[in-house]
Structure 1
Amino acid sequence: MTALGFLYPGHSAEDDYPRIEQLLGSDIRLQVVHTDIGEDAHRVDALREMGSAGRLAAGVEELRLSGAEAVVWACTSGSFVYGRQGAQDQVRTLALAAGLPASSTSFAFAHAVGELGVKRVAIGATYPDDVAGLFSSFLTDAGFEVLSVRGSGIITAAEVGTWGEAEVLALARAADHPEAEVVLLPDTALHTASFLPSLEAALGKPVLTANQVTVWEALRLTDRRANAPGLGALFTRARPVQA
């Protein structure tokens, strides 16, 4: 059995993780530990505090006791707001505290886009435009071409967590760009685990979502691979066919 650990801020879409575990259908177990979110706000200062070393360290011992073999900070905005170097420092500090291989959702997106072998991306973010722009800069620094960025102006993770399939699909469609090879939806507060096949069918291209790539990144850290068609092209490497 492979046990994977996730530090998840607050409570919004954490039920994606048992759903993903079910879709993986293997001897893979996903252990989620909640961190204190502090102020629930998609604002740079609040996001930096949410991703601070002290808040992350508070959940590390519980993950260690669970037998996790790797840990991922399951938050996109709480990592890319530090910039690429700051996000690397954040992951390094987490790895030292946990004594485990570590990463974050921001790096998970970069690695997942690389895994698909593409360069041109479109971003559909729930965040305000300034925060969405920081994610775009993070990906540009990682060597990708960001063709479009669509922000939604939502301030709280609590509101994002109320979105259903219709809202997620509308965001993905609005964000898409005809030359983009993949569409990215970067918010772990957004429920997407049950919608990936329909999202990819509607857009006719891979769609990467925050909780999906977070689990994939943990598998990468432990040198595991899983074939799970219900989790989209990232987990099958098959090109989606437009409905």
Structure 2
Amino acid sequence: MTALGILYPGHFAEDDYPRIEQLLGSDIRVDLVHTEAGEDTRQVDALREMGSPERLATGVEGLRLSGAEAVLWASTSGSFVYGWEGAHEQVRALARAAGMPASSTSFAFVHAVREVGARRVAVGAPYPQDVAGLFADFLRAGGVEVAGVRAAGSVSAREVAGWGEAETLALARSADVSGAEAVVLPDTALHTAAYVPLLEEALGKPVLTANQVTVWEALRLTDRRVNAPELGALFTREPIVQV
């Protein structure tokens, strides 16, 4: 049994995680611990507070007791708002506090883009334009070429958590641009676990979503590879070696 520890802010799309655990169909356990989300607004200062060491530390003890082998901070915006170096320090501090390997959803996206062999991506972000721009900057810092950014302008995680298949597909389609080799949909408040194959079929390319890549990154940290076609191209490919 491989136990994955997920620190998830608030209560929005956390039901994606038991769904993903079920779709993995193997000896994988996904343990979810909630942290305090704070003010539900997509303003940079509030997002930085959500990802503060004090907020993350509150969930660490529960994950240690669960037997987790790696921990993921399951917030895209609560990590990339610190910038590339600041997000590295965030996960280093989390690893020290937890006593296990750690990462975050923002780094999961960078690693997942490489995994599917994409060099140019299109971003469809539920966020306001300024926050979406910070995510694009983070991807660029990780060596990912961003072909286009579509910001839906939502200022509330609760609003995004209410989106269904139609809204998610519309966001992905509006974000896709010519030359993009994958479409990236950040925001762990967005339900996507049930829609990835549909999104990929509609766009004809890999689609990477926040809760999907979060679990994949936790598996990567534990050296596990699981074939799960229901979770999209990311879970069906052999590792891509880029030079």
Class of the TM-score when normalised by the shorter of the 2 chains: over 0.9
User: 2:92 & 2:220 partners in 1: Cα distance?
Assistant: 17
The 4+ residue runs of structure 1 with deviation greater than 3 A are none
What does 1:49-128 align with in structure 2 at a 5 Å threshold?
49-128=49-128
Under a length normalisation based on structure 1, what TM-score does the superposition of the two structures give?
0.97
User: 2:225 & 2:22 partners in 1: Cα distance?
Assistant: 15
User: 1:144 & 1:186 partners in 2: Cα distance?
Assistant: 15
User: 1:213 & 1:74 partners in 2: Cα distance?
Assistant: 10
Deviations 1:187-229 (A, max 9, x none): 0000000000000000000000000000000000000000000
User: 2:71 & 2:144 partners in 1: Cα distance?
Assistant: 25
User: 2:44 & 2:176 partners in 1: Cα distance?
Assistant: 25
User: 2:175 & 2:101 partners in 1: Cα distance?
Assistant: 33
User: 1:37 & 1:147 partners in 2: Cα distance?
Assistant: 31
Alignment partner, residue 220 of structure 2: 220
**Equivalenced residues, count:** 238
* 1:237 positional shift: 1.8
Q: Percent identity?
A: 74
* 1:122 positional shift: 0.2
User: 2:180 & 2:113 partners in 1: Cα distance?
Assistant: 12
Alignment partner, residue 152 of structure 1: 152
* 1:110 positional shift: 0.2
Alignment partner, residue 43 of structure 1: 43
| 2:141 is the counterpart of 1:141 | yes
Structure 2 counterpart of 1:182, which letter?
A: A
Structure 1 counterpart of 2:221, which letter?
A: L
| 2:18 is the counterpart of 1:11 | no
Alignment partner, residue 185 of structure 1: 185
**Alignment gaps of 5+ in structure 1:** 239-243
Alignment partner, residue 199 of structure 1: 199
Structure 2 counterpart of 1:93, which letter?
A: A
User: 2:88 & 2:141 partners in 1: Cα distance?
Assistant: 13
Deviations 1:45-104 (A, max 9, x none): 000000000000000000000000000000000000000000000000000000010000
Under a length normalisation based on structure 2, what TM-score does the superposition of the two structures give?
0.97
Q: RMSD over aligned Cα, in angstroms?
A: 0.7
